[in-house]
Chain A
Amino acid sequence: MQRNKKFPGRFESLEAISRFVKQAAEDAGLDEMQIYSVELAVDEACSNIIEHAYGAEGVGEIHCACIIEPDGLTIVIKDKGTPFNPDAVPDVNTTQPLEERRPGGAGVFLMRKVMDAVRYEFTADGNVLTMKKKK
Chain B
Amino acid sequence: MEITTTAYNRCDVIKMAGRVDTYTAPKLQEAMDELINDGHYNIVFDMAEVDFLSSKGLWVLTETQKKTRKHKGKLVLVHTNEKIRGSFELVGMGGYFDIFDDMTDAVGSF
Contacts and interface: CB of A to CB of B under 8 A. Distances in A.
Given A33-B83, A95-B92, A44 B55 contact: yes
Given A32-B83, A44-B55, A47-B54, A93 B92 contact: yes
Contacts of B58: 106
Contacts of B93: 101
B23 A14 contact: yes
Interface string A1-45: 000000000011011001000000000000011001001100110
B44 to A, nearest CB: 18
Nearest to A92: B91
Contact of A14 (B21, B63, B82, B90): B21
A118 B87 CA distance: 18
B59 A98 contact: no
A114 interface: yes
B109 interface: no
B66 interface: yes
A64 to B, nearest CB: 15
A110 B59 CA distance: 13
Contacts, number: 72
Given A92-B91, A113-B90, A98 B22 contact: no
Contact of A36 (B59, B63, B83, B96): B83
Nearest to A106: B55
Given A11-B22, A110-B90, A98 B69 contact: yes
Given A14-B21, A18-B19, A101-B62, A39 B52 contact: yes
A113 B58 CA distance: 16
A47 B83 contact: no
Given A39-B52, A94-B92, A103-B59, 8 more contacts: A43-B52, A44-B54, A94-B90, A98-B69, A99-B66, A101-B93, A106-B58, A109-B91
Interface of B: 19, 21-23, 52, 54-56, 58-59, 62-63, 65-66, 69, 82-83, 86-87, 90-93, 96
5 contacts: A15-B19, A18-B21, A36-B83, A43-B21, A106-B59
Which 4 A-B residue pairings sit nearest by Cβ, starting from the closest?
A94-B92, A11-B23, A106-B55, A107-B55
